[in-house]
Structure 1
Amino acid sequence: MAAARGRTPPQERTSAQRLPVARVLVDVPLPVHLDRPFDYLVPDRLDADAVPGCRVRVRFRGKLVDGFLLERRETSDFAGALSWLERVPSAEPVLTPDLLALARAVAARYGGMLADVVRLVVPPRVAKAEKSVATEPGPPPPRPVGEWSRYRHGASFLDAVHEGRSARAVWQALPGEDWPRRLAELAATTAAAGRGALLVVPDHRDLRRLHDACADLLGADGVVALAGELAPGERYRRWLTALRGGTRVVIGTRAAMFAPVPALGLAVVWDDGDDLHSYPQTPFPHTRDVLVQRVHAAGAALVVGGFARTAEAALLVESGWAHEVVADREVVRGAAPRVTAIGEDWQLARDEAARAARLPSMAFEAARGALGADAPVLVQVPRRGYVPALACGDCREQARCRRCAGPLALPGGTDGDGPRPAACRWCGAAEAAFRCPSCGSRRLRAVAVGHGRTAEELGRAFSGVPVRTSGAGEVLSSVPARPALIVATPGAEPVAEGGYGAALLLDGRTLLARPELRAAEAALRLWFTAAALVRPAREGGRVIVMADSELQPVQALIRWDPGWFAGLELAERAELGFPPARRVAAVDGTPEAIESLLDVADLPASAEVLGPVPLGEPDEDGATERERLLVRVDRGEGRALARSLHDAQAVRAARKAAELQVRLDPLEML
């Protein structure tokens, strides 16, 4: 009957003679209780192509979906009838045993699902990119001669990297250091010994500088750069180049922490305190922690480098797992600019308003001195925009939109009839007739001043001096060595040829006053990053920080001693029981969902439950839609905490309960 209707009868399928069962990790969003591979039969026609690590197509819940073949087996534990592998799109073993082991380790550390991690590890396939990819690296480059001898134990660390030892270092870069060149020297030293190097930086500007330095030592074909802004085909081609061993050095932004690097000999994370190193997708892995796991498994060397130091890096040193690579104090003082903070007695004697002024007289003096020496001046402003936050001019209550209750701000510029009125930052509606709901006042005042307004004010104060901005709209990569005022938001500071003559770090109190666990650490990191671009004090370089001089972060900047502050921060975190001294999980969800999780979770013995606390404003009845629960345990029970929360999520998912978001060691605790 089927033949009469013109249909082709289905062909009989026979399974492979050897290892006919394939364990497949399906690449689809699954509830947590289905976080496991599934067994399929391998048809004889796909026997040769169905190799462990390759991509496959299978039927799952009635749909044809993608997956990864994890292993071939003789038998299955499943008692029912197995479905068949439908296709093998590519026999390329993209999920290698090392990458699979890494994915499992990351999932275990963060309490995530293996499929979610594998989705981060292996990029989407672009078939066209598989046709022309190098499979053999060029000859090893000669070992470079670098300037690591400026650092205590720097030369011996380079020797250890070249010899293939598992050397682990927390590198404190000198102010003004050409850090891309130093990292390129590390990568070239590793490549000269025939091993692979993986270097991860926060953003595309850092990546561009590092790529130029690596290409200078290794040649354009000696390094592969992976970045999120690449086209899918180009990114996959470069990823395959690394997988097939076509290069020994791989660099990139956060996604590159999972890049395949054969014979890994060195892993580097630069500026590990930058928020960009935390992956924004579940299970929210951090570059530093992933690389620590990779070098531990591979017996490779590790460098955690930066101008500042995080509490996590300080813990690596304090525990003895890593060692400091720092310069002697005399060398640091010779390279650092002169740092001055407000609030010192001699300053207040000269200018009584210095403590309250946003830009006191000493800042103007430092800027004029640098401009007079034909050098640019860097002005770091924590907030972008014009006036990003407004409040009532009388009662100081935050000004909010009448339509959606969003915060009001001044966008800056004109609309033809004069300055543009205040507008909502959420819905964009203009508010030309503001009236405070609390006191009835129509007056507005600035709570925070952005880089746009700052540039406008400096342009009036320094007549005839060019003022350029570097921020969200346009980020400058470099500026020439001539007089100019460069107003930049944190992370967007361009490099100046020959260094800046001065840097003005505005609104320090605002940075330090943020209600966050890492506020002081983050502020100091931003200050060190900007101050490191300034000329040494012997060449007239000055840094003015708008924060009280008696504060510990300010003292660390004045003394140029980030390691000292990181040690204090770690000790305080240990006393309070926060990361990295203890492992902490943040659970976000509805009150009912959080309560049900606690009912089924088998938490470790040292677990301490904090909260839950509301994440938003309560309604009239005092209820909130979402809450946050914190669970903290001793570091030794971190894996047990992750496993218990994962298992509890699996039980809840099987009951089709409301979803929760679980994050281990989140950057934001509040």
Structure 2
Amino acid sequence: MAGAQPRKKKGEQSDTAAAANLPIARVLVDVALPVHLDRPFDYKIPERLDADAVPGCRVRVRFRGKLVDGYLLERRETTDYQGNLAWVERVPSPEPVLTPELLTQARAVAARYGGMLADVVRLAIPPRHARAEKSAPTEPGPPPQRPDAEGWQRYQHARSFLDAVHAGRSARAVWQALPGEDWPMRLAEAAATTAAAGRGALLVVPDHRDLQRLEDACRLLVGDSVVALAADTAPEKRYKRWLAALRGAARVVIGTRAAMFAPVRDLGLAVVWDDGDDLHSYPNTPYPHTRDVLTQRAHTTGAALVVGGFARTAEAALLVESGWAHELVAHRTQVREAAPRVTAIGEDDTQIARDPAARAARLPSVGFEAARAALKAGAPVLVQVPRRGYVPALACGDCRERARCRRCAGPLSLPGGTEAGAPKPAACKWCGATEAAFKCPECGSRRLRAISVGAGRTAEEMGRAFSGVPVRTSGAGEVLASVPGTPSLVVCTPGAEPVAEGGYGAALLLDGRTLLGRPELRAAEQALRKWFHAAALVRPAREGGRVVVMAESSLQPVQALVRWDPAWFASMELAERAELGFPPARRVAAVDGTPEAIEALLDSADLPSTAEVLGPVPLGEVDEDGNSERERLIVRVDRSEGRALADSLHAAQAVRAARKATELQVRLDPLEML
């Protein structure tokens, strides 16, 4: 669509001649726009820029009186706009960075999430760096040899899948990695198989530690035709690597979520590892998820797809149950040979209080003996604690009421360490004020007790219980990538588990109640995912590997861990989601805003026929008069009408924006709601 363009200011240089052929440029401006302006705008191309102004290149144009960046989507002979068009001021680079394929994918993602095209393109294309354009490679190296991929032989139908990838067919699989699997090498073998056929591969992992392991494995098989993309890479280096992918010089592109839109030439394989990790969800509007973006890319380009991990999400289970993807799993005999022995111990306070080992290190005798046996055998022991810090939550020692700051009502905690030779007093987690003289407002008691114990306190207790054994911590302050295969205790928070040389002799998964008791629909799925990823680092049972999880054995997530059957639990989780009417069984939109804005949206939105409206409910924010300032409305529809839901909410937002009404925040399938 054409749009009104501002005229040049007085005194600005004016171009007198337009390009002879296709003089109209349709431009996507790279600025934050109201929703009703989510469209390209027409500009005239001066004759001096005719050669450089190619579709997909960056341009500089006047918009609302300011010189802004944009992308030239296409050149046309005429325009529908009746007024005077402004000129394209400059072409910073003739490099066609917004390729037709990337533009198609960006439009599909914007449509899926009810977002704006400019926002998606901003996530997909990194900022320009002129020096990188001059030095980025343009030609790929020789294709690698196809690897033997013997490690894949333990999985049923894996050979057929790799043959299909090499042949360029659109094979799609959900891979269930065996415990102890060298997953970076398996993914590198799949990428090398794709590159050997002359096609490109894109592999996305959650964090930089996984990225480093995957890069090392890929370089062994593919050589220098590998580039790694991550948001924290230096701008020049990141843009140079991105250009290498765009120009086809990189056959294999790996990265974190920033790489999900990487312009891989002739994409033959897309891989997402550990799709249940929250890091795969982009925190910026329109909040795309790596798994969904790569699934869309595989569908539209005909590329193969792998969704892999030690655990399985309900979304991956849906891909399998719908028949869109097939399983890559090992036979149960292979699972039993590779898995450690898993023991579940309940967290009954009375039982633990009677256990002398538990009093010494918050461990039941079974966990204490497993750790001692592993240390005696010369192996490290992994201790997973759900919370970081020392004592992150306190309560009254008598009535068990949550201990709060008397100044701001924030939660009290123990920061750990000493002050003037004595332990530091309790402090508020919100305002930081110390509380040296706590008094419970309910019962008047001055006693405090720990509701939960963090990784710092756990490391201290474990060090006392196993005197003489080195204690290492891995968490928010410092995340260890690896530890030597010597006797030690490694205390970490979920997701910060370092890899041990030769594997851990035992893993102690503490405070299962904390993980399972989170007020989220995905709590059980996330707890099991974190347990599986920790337990997968432990040696097989035949080599003495033990996993002790402090959670009730009757719970389904615990049963799945004991049996090492993530597919069974994912199927159960999907069935429960379908019964409750939540993603991925249905599409859900969360609309946050003032009560008046939400009511106006409901009046104007043309919702699909299957739409079910829940709420609105207050979000807990109140004004000076005690009235709710913001509320949340939930709208859910059948999966077949997910696109219609996104379109209707986007259109309603556009009408409101044109009227300059109060903005609303609209998110499709938000993780935090689940």
Tell me the TM-score normalized by structure 1.
0.96
Corresponding residue of 2:255:
252
Is 2:465 the partner of 1:461?
A: yes
2:453 to 449, 456, 478: 449
Post-superposition Cα deviations, 1:584-638, rounded to whole Å, max 9, x if no partner, equal 0011122222112111111000000111112226679763222211100000000
Matched, 1:126 2:129: yes
Secondary structure of the corresponding residue to residue 131 of structure 1:
helix
CA distance change for structure 1 residues 12 and 342 in 2, over 3 Å: closer, same or farther? closer
Query: What is aligned with 2:491?
Result: 487
Of residues 107, 111, 124, the one that matches 1:108 is 111
Q: Distance in 2 between matches of 1:56 and 1:576?
A: 49
Instruction: Give the whole-Å Cα distance in 1 for the aligned partners of 2:608 and 2:225.
Output: 48
Instruction: Specify the SS of the correspondent of 1:612.
Output: strand
2:88 pairs with 1:81: no
Q: Is residue 351–residue 361 contact of structure 1 (8 Å, CA) maintained in 2?
A: no
SS of residue in 2 equivalent to 1:491: coil
Contact persistence 1:158–1:189 (CA under 8 A): yes
> What residue is the counterpart of 2:662 in the other structure?
658
Supply the distance in 1 between the matched residues of 2:405 and 2:585 (Cα, whole angstroms): 42
AA of the residue aligned to 1:641: L
Distance 1:217 1:611 in 2: 54
Which aligned pairs between 1:162-561 and structure 2 lie closer than 5 A? 162-219=166-223, 221-343=224-346, 358-561=362-565
Deviation at 1:323, TM superposition (A): 0.2
Q: Closer, same or farther in 2 for the Cα pair 1:552/1:351, shift >3 Å?
A: farther
CA contact (8 A) 1:343 1:355 kept: no
TM-superposition CA deviations, 1:207-232 (whole Å, max 9, x none): 0000000011111x120000111111
Q: Shift of residue 266 of structure 1? A: 0.1
**Preserved contact between residue 172 and residue 324 of structure 2 (Cα < 8 Å):** yes
**1:31 and 2:31 matched:** no
| Distance (whole Å) between structure 2 residues aligned to residue 28 and residue 292 of structure 1 | 28
The answer to which of 456-465 and 617-626 deviates more is: 617-626
Aligned residue for 1:174, secondary structure, equals coil
2:153 partner letter: S
Q: Which amino acid aligns with 1:129?
A: A
5+ unaligned residues in a row in structure 1: which ranges?
A: 1-6
1:141 to 120, 124, 144: 144
Q: Aligned partners of 2:606, 2:439: CA distance in 1, in Å?
A: 53
2:72 counterpart of 1:72: no
1:564 partnered with 2:590 = no
State the 1:89 CA deviation: 0.6
TM (normalized to structure 2)?
0.96
2:637 pairs with one of 627, 633, 636: 633
TM superposition shift of 1:406: 2.1
Closer/same/farther in 2, CA of residues 376 and 77 from structure 1, 3 Å limit: same
| Per-residue deviation, 1:317 | 0.1
- Is the 8 Å Cα contact of residues 342 and 354 (structure 1) preserved in structure 2? no
Question: Is the 8 Å Cα contact of residues 517 and 668 (structure 1) preserved in structure 2?
Answer: no
Assess, with a 3 A threshold, how the Cα gap between structure 1 residues 224 and 9 changes in structure 2: closer, same or farther.
closer
Residue by residue over 1:336-385, the C-alpha shift from the partner in whole angstroms, topping out at 9 and shown as x without a partner, is 0000001499x989977999994211110100010010000000000011
Task: Tell me how far apart the structure 2 counterparts of residues 76 and 400 of structure 1 sit (CA, whole Å).
Answer: 64
Q: Distance in 1 between matches of 2:255 and 2:581?
A: 34
Q: Distance in 1 between matches of 2:511 and 2:355?
A: 18
Partners of 1:41 and 1:618 in 2: CA distance = 50
Q: Distance in 2 between matches of 1:631 and 1:394?
A: 44
Deviations, residues 628-657 of structure 1 (Å, cap 9, x unaligned): 111000000000000001011111111111
The equivalent position to 1:604 in structure 2, one of 603, 608, 622, is 608
Q: Distance in 1 between matches of 2:71 and 2:300?
A: 23
Q: Distance in 2 between matches of 1:454 and 1:322?
A: 42
Alpha-carbon distance in structure 2 between the residues aligned to 1:608 and 1:72:
43
Q: Does the Cα contact within 8 Å between 2:15 and 2:46 map onto a contact in 1?
A: no
Deviations 1:227-284 (A, max 9, x none): 1111111111110111111111000000100001010000000000000000000000
**CA offsets, 1:98-121, max 9 Å, x none?**
000000000000000001000001
Alignment partners' CA distance in 2, 1:299 and 1:455: 50
User: Is the 1:129–1:236 Cα contact (8 Å) retained in structure 2?
Assistant: yes
Q: 8 Å contact 1:358–1:507 — kept in the other structure?
A: no
1:595 aligned onto 2:599: yes
Mapped to 1, the partners of 2:148 and 2:425 lie a distance apart of 59
Q: Does residue 92 of structure 1 match 2:102?
A: no
Contact 1:195 / 1:248 at 8 angstroms: preserved in 2? yes
Q: What CA distance in whole angstroms lies between the structure 2 residues aligned with 1:273 and 1:259?
A: 21
The change in CA–CA distance for 1:620 and 1:510 in structure 2 (over 3 A counts) is farther
From the superposition, tell whether residues 612 and 400 of structure 1 become closer, same or farther in structure 2 (CA, over 3 Å).
same
Tell me the secondary structure at the aligned position of residue 487 of structure 1: strand
* Larger deviation, residues 187-196 vs 389-398: 389-398
SS of the counterpart of 1:548?
coil
- The answer (yes or no) to whether the contact 1:269–1:287 under 8 Å persists in 2 is yes
Letter in 1 for 2:497: E
Task: Give the Å deviation of 1:77.
Answer: 1.1
Q: Distance in 2 between matches of 1:646 and 1:149?
A: 48
Q: CA separation of 1:620/1:48 partners in 2, compared to 1, >3 Å: closer, same or farther?
A: closer
How far apart, in 1, do the equivalents of 2:353 and 2:342 lie?
18
Instruction: Name the CA distance, whole Å, in 1 between partners of 2:654 and 2:83.
Output: 23
Q: Distance in 1 between matches of 2:102 and 2:554?
A: 48
**TM-fit CA distance, 1:431:** 1.9
- How many pairs were matched up? 662
| Paired residue type of 1:312 | E
8 Å contact kept, 2:347–2:513: no
8 Å contact from structure 2 (residues 357, 368) kept in 1: no
State whether residues 469 and 487 of structure 1, in contact with CA within 8 Å, keep that contact through their aligned partners in structure 2: yes
Q: 1:612 to 1:11 in 2, by over 3 A?
A: closer
Alpha-carbon distance, 1:568 to partner: 0.3
Secondary structure of 1:258 counterpart: coil
Deviations 1:109-146 (A, max 9, x none): 00000010000011111111111111111111000011
Distance 2:489 2:17 in 1: 74
Q: 1:351 to 1:401 in 2, by over 3 A?
A: closer
Query: Are the equivalent residues in 2 in contact too, given 1:59–1:65 (CA < 8 A)?
Result: yes
Asked if the contact 1:25–1:37 (Cα under 8 Å) also holds between the matched residues in 2, the reply is: yes
Q: Check conservation: 1:377, 1:483, Cα contact below 8 A.
A: yes
Paired amino acid for 1:360: P
8 Å CA contact retained: 1:343, 1:354: no
Q: CA deviation at 1:78?
A: 1.0
Cα gap change, 1:576/1:659 in structure 2, threshold over 3 Å: closer, same or farther? same
CA contact 2:270–2:305 (8 Å) conserved in 1: yes
Match of 1:584 among 574, 588, 611: 588
SS at match of 1:266: strand
